[in-house]
Amino acid sequence: MGAMRVSISSGLTCHQMKAITSYEIHSKPLFFTPTTWSTRRRTRRDRGKYVEANKTQDDGILVDDVKVIAKFKSRHNYIRVLQVCRKADHPFAGSRLLLLDSPGNIHSISFLYTSLTHTYFDVFATLPPIIPPGPVAILGFGAGSAARLILQTYPEEVAVHGWELDPAVISVAREYFNLQKLEKQYPDRLFIYIGDALRASVRDGFSGVLVDLFSRGSLVPELEDPRTWEKLRKSLRRGGRIMVNVGGSCVEAEDSRRDGKVVMEDTLKAMRGVFGDGLYVLNLGNRKDDSSLALTGELPDLDAWRKLLPSGLKSYVDMWRPF
């Protein structure tokens, strides 16, 4: 799963959103017209817990506008589910957020009345029109934000196979993010597996693979190894593509040695070693390298691609650049 930070106290970011609660909220490099939370304004106590208030270009979420509805540690994650008040003066108003690990990584976001998230999950949903017919894998399923958007945007066209390492995350997704309802709605198009996402496979291969693999606030180290990308390339059908959330400078890892920008660059270099010139990058955020996604294969006809997308997703088509 990825990592995006939110800052509870006033604002939002691309891959990270420092929580406005008593801890920081990160998330899979989500990018809500991303802006990163960086400048600490103050620390105060609220209900017996420390509350970090951060501020950048955008204001964060006030602690009083956030409610913690679940909080526990699983074998793999420190899981928290937050509900943001609908009246909050913030793009995440009315949303539900899934946080994992101590930095507070946001791995999923859900709104009550729309599947669009205004984050990198929306970019993931632009992949189906440029791949051949067949199954799409989501490596790092989280609570299903990308799956929900894809299934609802492309009726009857795409089957989604999602891999998640932590069974507790799937349980939380079913209880708090309507995943159980989604599974009942699409019994023949949504398949969820518990296990190592880098071992994902289906008969005849995938038409597309979405990679959103983060642990402890950083891309998993395996993605910096060209052998991983060679293996994923071999899992594709002819004409298939891979789209990857590669994070960026706004990603804050538990281990300070795992600098988000450096890890992103090393991951892209590993991908280029396998895909050569068939590698494109889309930057999200207010600063260069705030949060980025990568796409493999030759860049498709942009006009044709744009015509196949709903209005809320069209703008991303023109943001891709050669790596």
DSSP string, 124-177: HTTSGGGS-SS-EEEES-TTSHHHHHHHHHSTTT--EEEEES-HHHHHHHHHHS
pLDDT tens figures, 156-203: 879 999 999 999 999 999 999 999 999 999 999 999 999 999 999 999
pLDDT tens figures, 98-146: 998 777 778 899 998 888 998 999 999 999 999 999 999 999 999 999 9
Q: What angle do CA 164, 198, 210 make, to 5 degrees?
A: 70
Amino acid (1-letter code) at residue 257:
R
80: buried, middle or exposed (CB in 10 Å: 19+, 13-18, 0-12)?
buried
**Quick one: what percent of the chain has pLDDT higher than 70?**
80
Residue 16: per-residue pLDDT: 37
Buried b (16+ CB within 10 A) or exposed e, 287-299: bebbbbbbbbbee
Residue 4: per-residue pLDDT: 65
Buried b (16+ CB within 10 A) or exposed e, 121-158: bbbbbbbbbbbeebbbbbbbbbbbbbbbbbbbbbeeeb
Q: What are the residue boundaries of the structural domains of the chain, listed by start?
A: 4-111, 120-322
What CATH architecture applies to the domain 120-322?
3-Layer(aba) Sandwich (3.40)
CB atoms within 10 A of CB 116: 16
Residue 102: per-residue pLDDT: 79
| pLDDT for residue 38 is more than 80 | no
Contacts by 128-131 with C-beta closer than 8 Å and gap 24+?
Answer: 128/153, 128/154, 128/157, 128/158, 128/208, 129/305, 129/308, 129/309, 130/241, 130/297, 130/300, 130/305, 131/207, 131/208, 131/239, 131/240, 131/241
pLDDT tens figures, 270-304: 999 999 999 999 998 766 657 899 999 999 999 99
